Chains A and B, each alone.
Chain A
Amino acid sequence: MSQNLRDADRRSIVVDYHLSAPPPKVWRALTEPKLLASWLMPNDIKPKVGHQFTFKTAPAPGFDGIVHCKIIEVQPVSRLVYSWRGGPIDTMVVWTLEPTTSGGTHLKLEQSGFGPEHGMTYDILSRGWREKAAGSLERILNLP
């Protein structure tokens, strides 16, 4: 098992994970409400395109504790896509499962599309961009 974050992908959060369980077992953990709840949050997911469901957690200021989701794409045992909206954050969650040679699963999670509307460029938050911004700001501040 290993994990890493890809800085190279600047338009989304990407988390890779190598699991020793085979894809069908991982798929069940992603799509069966009870199994999913055991590691994520209570939910009423169904792997059916168009199905609307929620994840429920403790409310907090500015967030009612409910994540609203809708299934966008289902490719059994390989790909699951749903929208993910909690508070003002409106995103897309993409799960990709690939079998590994050792009989396990390479699971990739990607969360993208940040913003209350479409098109929030994630580049704006990338590390490279931030460094560039910080550098420019320094130059501005250092002007005589």
Chain B
Amino acid sequence: MQSLRRTSAELEGLLKALADPTRRAVFERLIAREESVATLTAASRVSQSAVSQHIAVLAKAGLLKGRQIGRSTLYRANPRALEPLIDWVERQNRFWQAALRRLDETLKETKE
């Protein structure tokens, strides 16, 4: 089945990184702005070390990019990293559409 063939460690990493609601919120926030761990912590309900851990997981999955400004690192989201997931969804869509066309044909061929 074509639609599942590209399931990979990459895809799994993305899904795991985004499965956590706090991480998802961090990711979405960093779409709109570039921020440091300190700023992110001030805006959230979790500790700085928790934020740092979430940042690390997101960065490992390629979902964040950081750049060094003086002594702090500013992070921003890298939405292009979602491409494997978007591709998967599109392939899954095509898979079901093709399957339903086959179902339609099958039903037309079979007599009650």
Q: Which residues of A contact B (CB under 8 A)?
A: 1, 3, 5, 13, 15, 17, 19-21, 25-26, 29, 35, 38-41, 55, 57-58, 60-63, 65, 67, 86-89, 107, 109, 111, 114-121, 124-125, 130, 132-134, 136-137, 140
Bound CA span A116–B1, Å: 20
Q: Tell me if B56 is interfacial: C-beta within 8 Å of chain A.
A: no
What would be 17 A-B contacts, judged by CB atoms less than 8 Å apart?
Answer: A17-B103, A19-B107, A20-B104, A20-B107, A25-B110, A26-B107, A38-B106, A41-B1, A62-B6, A67-B1, A86-B1, A115-B16, A115-B18, A120-B15, A124-B28, A130-B82, A132-B31
* Given the contacts A39-B99, A41-B1, A88 and B12 also touching, CB distance less than 8 Å: yes
A84 to B: closest C-beta gap in Å: 10
Other than the known A29-B106, A115-B16, what 18 A-B pairs have Cβ atoms closer than 8 Å?
Answer: A1-B104, A3-B100, A13-B89, A13-B96, A20-B104, A21-B107, A26-B103, A38-B106, A40-B102, A41-B1, A63-B4, A86-B4, A89-B88, A116-B16, A121-B18, A124-B18, A134-B79, A137-B76
- Contact A3 B82, beta carbon cutoff 8 Å: no
Interface residues contributed by chain B, number (CB under 8 Å): 44
Bound CA span A3–B4, Å: 23
Interface residues of B in 78-112 (CB under 8 A from A): 79, 82, 85-86, 88-89, 92-93, 96-97, 99-100, 102-108, 110, 112
Q: Tell me if B26 is interfacial: C-beta within 8 Å of chain A.
A: no
Bound CA span A117–B104, Å: 34
- Contact B79 A62, beta carbon cutoff 8 Å: no
- Contact A57 B7, beta carbon cutoff 8 Å: no
- CB-nearest residue of chain B to A105: B107
Nearest first, the 7 A-B pairs at minimum CB distance are A87-B7, A88-B12, A60-B5, A39-B102, A133-B79, A21-B107, A57-B1
- Write out the residue numbers on chain A whose beta carbons fall within 8 Å of the beta carbon of B34: 140
- Write out the residue numbers on chain B whose beta carbons fall within 8 Å of the beta carbon of A65: 1
Q: Tell me if B24 is interfacial: C-beta within 8 Å of chain A.
A: yes
Bound CA span A109–B27, Å: 30
- Write out the residue numbers on chain A whose beta carbons fall within 8 Å of the beta carbon of B82: 124-125, 130, 133
Q: Tell me if B58 is interfacial: C-beta within 8 Å of chain A.
A: no
* Given the contacts A63-B7, A88-B11, A15 and B96 also touching, CB distance less than 8 Å: yes
Bound CA span A104–B104, Å: 11
- Contact A3 B107, beta carbon cutoff 8 Å: no
